[in-house]
A and B are shown apart, each in its own frame.
Chain A
Amino acid sequence: MESLFLDIAQTLTGWLQSLGLSAVWADFILLIIQFACVAGIVTINVIILIWLERKVSGFIQLRLGPNRLGPWGAFQTIADAIKLLTKEDIIPTRTDKWIFRTAPLFFITVAMMLYLVIPMGDGMQIVDLNIGVFYFISLASLSTIALLMAGWSSNNKWSLLGAMRSVAQMISYEIPLTFSLLGVIMIAGSLRLSDIVAAQSNIWFIVFQPVAFITYFIAATAELNRGPFDMPEAEQELTAGAYTEYTGMRWALFFLAEYTNLVAVSAMASTMFLGGWQGPWLPSWLWIIIKTYIIMFVFMWIKWTFPRIRMDHLMSFSWKVLLPVSLANIVVTGVGIYVFKWMGWC
């Protein structure tokens, strides 16, 4: 089981080369197939996640959640997806058409590109960049622009307000997010994700970096615009924030991208803090799926448990609490590494 996907890739490359393709082109086609697989898996996964989210929220709020279609309502989201696909695509007249159309595409593209570096198992990484963590952080920062584009082009006050809120929030929380990852990078001594996973073969980094993990988790919640930090799309005040004017497939793309980001951020958390794909007995790719799902479950748990935070509290929490804490964590980590080296423990 362990090398299931690697074997498939091996066979595929061999078959492509037997057709007379050179190694470079075979790799290229394999890359495209890998990317298509990621896109496909992510899309199908979102259907499961939405179902899960509704079930979890139902459980927490003492409701049943979806329960009519299929066993435990499992087919509900499939029906919803079909409805969205067949819905009329409405673009309001006074919108900024070009930007309105490109915003969701940009958002989903950026979200998909995050998966390029995440190690999805032993040796199962599309590209093992030597600056993988940094790639993840910088690409994630691009999604802000897509939200801004959506909010601006809709020509609607709720959209604009939602976009502005989300931008202020994402820009602010990006800093503690990055700083919290820095502690791990300092210990591992590398920006390459495979090195970071390898460095956790004995002990997970959450043991050395508990503060960084909590900071990362809080900042990531804000980055994902999820509750209790979901000010940008606070339904009661802004209808749906930046997405208010979107319908049908375009709206679905935003929704898809949000969940795609959720998976990426959770996978990143398990890679950076929970030992990545490493674990006993089970194959490596299953381990990362389990860890990712556990983290996603915690995200949902928090979302349906805590009330929404006020905007100014949200901002001051980032700048006055998270940022100093994450900076202090970096200093302490630096001193700690020095002490460890001095004592000869590593």
Chain B
Amino acid sequence: MNLSDLVFIVTALITVTAAVGVVGFKNIVHSALSLVLSFLGVAALYFQLQAGFLGLVQILVYAGAVSVLIIFAIMLVMDKDPDESNRSHAKQKYWGGLIALLVTLGLGAAIGSTIWPQSSGSLPEDSVGALATLLLGDYVVAFEVAALLLLVAVVGAIILAKGAGEHD
């Protein structure tokens, strides 16, 4: 095991533990903060894979914006004892845990026993530039549609949030 493996194991452990914490914490604010940690862990994994731009996008969008909005929404609507805000039913807990375990084992076995093809190419010198060329070149349809998707989501969120007071 070399240094790179060690770094991977530590970051992966933090990420997974934090992700389990999201489900496990009884206080939903703790869950949300755990989610932030998990997002940061994923960003660290991207950095390790030399996908710096992606890692920063992960930090900016997920850790910096999405999770803040989640916490914000939680604080706006929470009206009960915070320590009871993320309780799960005992039955759900066991079934959920069992299913999660089975999925993990099944997919883990499949992924573990696969001989993965190795990429022979090397990283482009200017990976951000290459990414931009791809996004606005071959993938331009997906790029533009994603923009429309965000627009739809924003308009929809406003309509659903503001329209409730109005009578049909």
Contact = CB atoms under 8 A, between A and B. Distances in A.
Contacts of B59: 138-139, 141-142
B75 A152 contact: yes
Contact of B72 (A137, A141, A167): A167
Given A131-B128, A134-B53, A152-B29, A167 B60 contact: no
Contacts of A135: 56
Nearest to A144: B68
Interface string B27-50: 101100100100000000000000
B115 to A, nearest CB: 33
A141 B65 contact: yes
Contacts of A145: 33, 36, 63-64, 67-68, 71
Contacts of A131: 52-53, 56, 128
A164 interface: yes
A316 interface: no
Interface residues of A, number: 24
Contacts of B53: 131, 134
Nearest to A140: B64
Contacts of B126: 130
A133 B27 CA distance: 36
B69 interface: yes
B86 to A, nearest CB: 14
A223 to B, nearest CB: 12
A129 interface: yes
B41 to A, nearest CB: 14
Contacts of B33: 99, 145, 149
Contact of A167 (B57, B68, B82, B128): B68
Contacts of A137: 60
Given A134-B56, A138-B56, A171 B69 contact: yes
A6 to B, nearest CB: 26
Interface residues of B, number: 24
A160 B82 CA distance: 14
B68 A160 contact: no
Contacts of B29: 96, 99, 152
Contacts of B52: 129-131
Nearest to B127: A130
A182 interface: no
**Which of A137, A138, A171: most chain B Cβ within 10 A?**
A138
Given A99-B33, A131-B128, A191-B128, A138 B71 contact: no
A138 B64 contact: yes
Contacts of A149: 33
A148 interface: yes
A56 B31 CA distance: 44
Nearest to A147: B68
**Which of B52, B68, B128: most chain A Cβ within 10 A?**
B68
Nearest to A130: B128
30 contacts: A99-B29, A99-B30, A129-B52, A130-B52, A130-B128, A131-B52, A131-B53, A131-B56, A134-B53, A134-B56, A135-B56, A138-B60, A139-B59, A141-B60, A141-B63, A142-B59, A144-B68, A145-B63, A145-B68, A145-B71, A152-B29, A152-B71, A152-B75, A164-B72, A164-B75, A167-B68, A167-B72, A171-B65, A174-B65, A191-B128
